[in-house]
Structure 1
Amino acid sequence: MSALPKNLRAAILEAALDLFAENGFHSSPMSRIATLAGVGVGSIYRYFSDKDDLIHALFQRVDTPLKCAMEESLDPELPTHRQFVRFVTKLIEYLRSHPKEFRFIEQYYNSPYGIDKAHAEITQADGNPSDLFSQLFLKGQNEGTIRKMPLPVYPVMTFGPVGFLVRYSLSGRARVDDAMIQATAEACWNAIKA
């Protein structure tokens, strides 16, 4: 075993990301995470109460830089169509350049953890969704550029194609170029435009 890193929590999170991305949540026991992090299993429990706590903490660690990158892609001065296409394009580029994070996020949102989180973001008590994408959809609805549909429909129409394209790209079976990314973003727009 190599010398322990100064930040054990970060090492545990990085090991968990590696294993979850490769093997999934259920096939990544705490003992394997500890071994990969170079710590004892007990050390994990100094930082995380259980595996669920570790998964949620890792989601926050992965989601924060993603949200920052997506916030940077939005420009309120642009028309909604251009904002949307730019957002989707940047999302695809970000996820392609962060494959472990993509695989983790995909698992998270396709598990009870993520389903609950997505539902909470879309159905805020005050009726104002907290996520940037839903806010963009509402803006488009209000100005008449995006078809009026229930908010949960928009991610289905958008993230499904995005996820497929990123998986396709990461599989190495085909070269995904800028033209294909742009075409995907435009196709997503065409699915929701008014």
Structure 2
Amino acid sequence: MASSPKRPRLTRRESQERTRSDLIAAAIDLFATNGVAGSPLNAVAEHAGFSRGAIHGNFADKVELASAVVHSVAIDLGTQLTEVLSRPASTRTRLANYITTSMDYSRTKPASAAAIVAAVEYLSRSGAESYDDRAKDSAGDLVALFEEGQRLGQMRRFDPLTMALALRSVLDTTAASLSRRGGSAHTEAMTSELLALFDHATRSTTTADPQGTHS
């Protein structure tokens, strides 16, 4: 019987990166369930299958761990949202796809969606990071979309940053709500409501096409 090939041995750096990744994944699970304040660092290490030394060797404190969770989830979801907004379609279609993608993420990865909300709130309360600053950072692509929609006449005149922040706030709040309710049973209805709400709030009332090339 042939022996199975040996897995290549991880370098020290690769081993450290895997440990850090496992700790972040464990923190996401616990933050989503217990909140950040209710998730001691030692509990995160234990949930990941490590000793308490592993957590302290990778993160100076809970603020640093919460920041790592925010960054990890933001990269994961942000990559999907950037791809959606870059597709060739009308601005109203891309807005609808942005909302649907965000809601699908909350449905398929409820722990990640809830954990980033909990982590951002914790960082804001601790003074380490402002929720407003984080929201503005994540709203840049939306602002550009709204400005394009107004320039093309597909959207009415409004303040793009205010609308972008409003949408991000609603999506974040909805993600937390879906996590508490168990997710998928409510996602479709809530998505439909958000699509109708923000389409009505942004669409142009003067365009010749009432759907704003929303196809």
Give the conservation status (yes or no) of the 8 Å contact 1:169–1:176.
Answer: no
Determine if the alignment matches structure 1 residue 78 to structure 2 residue 89.
yes
Amino acid corresponding to residue 60 of structure 1 in structure 2? H
Partner residue of 1:100 out of 97, 100, 111? 111
Aligned residues: 182
| C-alpha distance in structure 1 between counterparts of 2:23 and 2:76, whole Å | 18
Shift of 1:167: 2.3
Which residue of structure 2 aligns with residue 118 of structure 1?
Answer: 134
Give the match for residue 198 of structure 2: 188
| Aligned equivalent of 1:3 | none
Question: In the TM superposition, what is the alpha-carbon distance from 1:161 to its structure 2 partner?
Answer: 5.8
CA distance in 2, matches of 1:62, 1:157: 18
Instruction: Find out whether 1:41 has 2:52 as its counterpart.
Output: yes
Query: How far off its partner does 1:76 sit?
Result: 4.7
Work out the CA distance in 2 between the residues paired with 1:154 and 1:118.
12
Q: Aligned partners of 1:104, 1:96: CA distance in 2, in Å?
A: 13
Corresponding residue to 1:137 among 146, 151, 175? 146
Question: Is the 8 Å Cα contact of residues 137 and 146 (structure 1) preserved in structure 2?
Answer: no
Q: Structure 2 unaligned runs (5+)?
A: 1-14, 205-215
Larger mean Cα displacement after TM superposition, 163-172 or 35-44: 163-172
> 1:59, 1:102 → 2: CA distance?
10
Moved over 4 A (4+): 177-180
Q: How big is the shift at 1:74?
A: 2.1
Preserved CA contact (<8 Å) 1:71 1:132? yes
Give the structure-2-normalised TM-score.
0.71
Counting only pairs closer than 5 Å after superposition, residues 40-59 of structure 1 correspond to structure 2 as 40-59=51-70
**CA contact 2:150–2:156 (8 Å) conserved in 1:** yes
Residues 1:25 and 2:41 aligned together:
no
SS in 1 for 2:44: helix
Question: 5 Å matches for 1:142-181?
Answer: 142-144=151-153, 145-149=155-159, 151-157=161-167, 159-160=169-170, 163-164=173-174, 167-168=177-178, 171-172=181-182, 175-176=185-186, 178=188, 181=191
Q: Which structure would you say has the larger RCO, counting Cα contacts within 8 Å and 6 or more residues apart?
A: 2
Distance (Å, rounded) in 2 between the aligned partners of 1:8 and 1:183: 41
Cα distance, 1:115 vs. partner? Answer: 0.9
Query: If the length of structure 1 is used for normalisation, what is the TM-score?
Result: 0.78
Letter in 2 for 1:136: L
Larger Rg: 1 or 2?
Answer: 2
- Which structure 1 segments of 5+ residues have no match? 1-5, 123-128
Question: Percentage identity across aligned positions?
Answer: 25
Q: Secondary structure at the match of 2:161?
A: coil
Say what the alpha-carbon RMSD is for the aligned residues: 2.9
Q: 1:32 to 1:154 in 2, by over 3 A?
A: same
Supply the distance in 2 between the matched residues of 1:32 and 1:165 (Cα, whole angstroms): 24
